[in-house]
Structure 1
Amino acid sequence: MRGRKKSPDIRAAILRCATEVFAQREFHEVLTDDIAAKLGIGKGTIYRYFDSKEALYFATIVEGLKGMRAAVDEALRQPAPLAVIIQRLVETILRYFWNRRDFFILLHRHEPKLDPRERAEWQQQREEVVEQVRGVLERALPRPTLGRQHPRQAVEILFGMIRSAALFRAPGDRPAALANVIAAAFLHGVTVNAAEVGRVTRGEGVAGARLARPTVARRQLQHRRGGKSIS
């Protein structure tokens, strides 16, 4: 038994099952026996691939992040205008979360049981994705822009928008449509005319994206300042 070669397929099956079970219950409520029973294998088989329940939990996160990074790599591979790249990136991550709901739940659950070294590696995997996107912004944005001056914060804002869209998605939400809205709002703000969102994310530029009319509050403030613009 000890000399038998480990099977990548068995390991992958254990990870898929563990991700599902861990997402349904808190870490301390899950037994290794539960995962083994769901798979129809002995608990000893799981321990041939993972040293402990903690190691298995950690592996579900790392494998999911590696898969997400590969998907992001593919999305960023083809050169395109910045708006197109951002839309493509957002849609890719949303679809990844859509198709891996259990992984998404685990990714955003703060589990104190992880070893500090495991948590550090988890953070490193995420950091690599952040660096990918930060590099895109630094290369594509003009130097005076806020996103170019503070790329790390810009990436975290973008990821926050993606996370919220995935976490609070409605039954009728679709990744492509959400990606258009998120990309337009991220690049040009929520004052972009809603009818222009598609043009913005096709890379037709800010010049083609007309701003919506000033709100009542904005017009009143302008009036109090003697009609001068506050922009």
Structure 2
Amino acid sequence: MAGRKKSEHIREAIVRGAAEVFSSREFHEVLTDDIAEHVGVGKGTLYRYFRSKEELYLAAIGDSLRELHASVTAVLADDAPLVPTIERLVRTLIAYFWERRDFFVLMHRLEPKLKAKERSEWRQRRDEIVDLLRRRIDRAVQRGEIARVHARVATEALLGMIRGACVYRQPSDRREDVAQTIVQLFLHGIASTAAQEQPATPPSRGFARWR
């Protein structure tokens, strides 16, 4: 007799819940019972979807990377001018990571433990994201949209600001204020004059430390 059809909704819930548990402690400290309790499913259900704790751990990383890659590709595929592209990209990534700080913790812990093939796969996805943005910045330089810059360094700087803002955000931070501040810093710099800056709505008082 064939088994029950697997539910994508349940799988996604398991992966998301597992990521939260794995990010809160070391891999060897996590029990499948902990994950099942956190997700609200039976232990048997976990093993129906994933054969081992290791497989579930890798799924938590792999699903996030694929989703992130698709989101970034969709934004950068548009050949719009760089400024609105950067604004869309920052808001897209901030929205994605706002509730996913566990993703960064998992990536930091996972990379040294990956086998060569697995490390190559996730590194390739990250490199593709970096290369897409780097080429977009290079194209903007060639078109005269922005000053000549080191495109790869600029790319890593932008992604680093987004990462830091999401990982170390405070309860009073507002997502839109964070995104707007990063866009302003990246496009205009912290020392820009009023004449050089584009009009923007000032961040809220609760976000004053980012000014």
User: If the length of structure 2 is used for normalisation, what is the TM-score?
Assistant: 0.78
**Taking structure 1 as reference, are residues 31 and 114 closer, same or farther at Cα in structure 2, changes over 3 Å only?**
farther
Give distance in 2, aligned partners of 1:47 and 1:146: 53
Give distance in 1, aligned partners of 2:166 and 2:41: 33
Give distance in 1, aligned partners of 2:92 and 2:60: 20
Amino acid at match of 1:19: A
Instruction: Give the equivalent residue in structure 1 for 2:8.
Output: 8
Task: After TM superposition, list the pairs within 5 Å mapping 1:69-148 onto structure 2.
Answer: 69-110=69-110, 112-142=112-142, 145-147=147-149
**Taking structure 1 as reference, are residues 86 and 16 closer, same or farther at Cα in structure 2, changes over 3 Å only?**
same
Q: CA deviation at 1:98?
A: 0.7
Amino acid at match of 1:135: R
Q: CA deviation at 1:22?
A: 0.9
Query: Is the CA contact (8 Å cut-off) linking 1:58 and 1:114 kept in structure 2?
Result: no
Query: Is the CA contact (8 Å cut-off) linking 2:76 and 2:85 kept in structure 1?
Result: yes
SS at match of 2:171: coil
The range that moved more, 185-194 or 61-70, is 185-194
**Taking structure 1 as reference, are residues 178 and 10 closer, same or farther at Cα in structure 2, changes over 3 Å only?**
closer
Q: Give deviations 1:46-98, integer Å, cap 9, x for gaps.
A: 23332322221111111112222222234335443312211221121111111
Give distance in 1, aligned partners of 2:53 and 2:12: 16
Structure 1 unaligned segments of length 5 or more: list them.
202-231
SS at match of 2:80: coil
SS at match of 1:192: coil
Task: After TM superposition, list the pairs within 5 Å mapping 1:210-221 onto structure 2.
Answer: none
Query: % of aligned pairs identical?
Result: 53
Q: CA deviation at 1:15?
A: 0.5
Q: CA deviation at 1:176?
A: 2.6
Query: Is the CA contact (8 Å cut-off) linking 1:62 and 1:125 kept in structure 2?
Result: no
Query: Is the CA contact (8 Å cut-off) linking 2:23 and 2:105 kept in structure 1?
Result: yes
**Taking structure 1 as reference, are residues 79 and 129 closer, same or farther at Cα in structure 2, changes over 3 Å only?**
same
Q: CA deviation at 1:198?
A: 4.5
Query: Is the CA contact (8 Å cut-off) linking 1:19 and 1:57 kept in structure 2?
Result: yes
SS at match of 1:141: helix
Query: Is the CA contact (8 Å cut-off) linking 1:181 and 1:197 kept in structure 2?
Result: no
**Taking structure 1 as reference, are residues 130 and 49 closer, same or farther at Cα in structure 2, changes over 3 Å only?**
same
Query: How many pairs are equivalent?
Result: 199
**Taking structure 1 as reference, are residues 92 and 137 closer, same or farther at Cα in structure 2, changes over 3 Å only?**
same
Instruction: Give the equivalent residue in structure 1 for 2:209.
Output: none
SS at match of 1:103: helix
SS at match of 2:112: coil
Q: CA deviation at 1:2?
A: 7.2
User: If the length of structure 1 is used for normalisation, what is the TM-score?
Assistant: 0.72
**Taking structure 1 as reference, are residues 157 and 57 closer, same or farther at Cα in structure 2, changes over 3 Å only?**
same
Find the structure with the greater CA-based Rg. Answer: 1
**Taking structure 1 as reference, are residues 191 and 171 closer, same or farther at Cα in structure 2, changes over 3 Å only?**
same
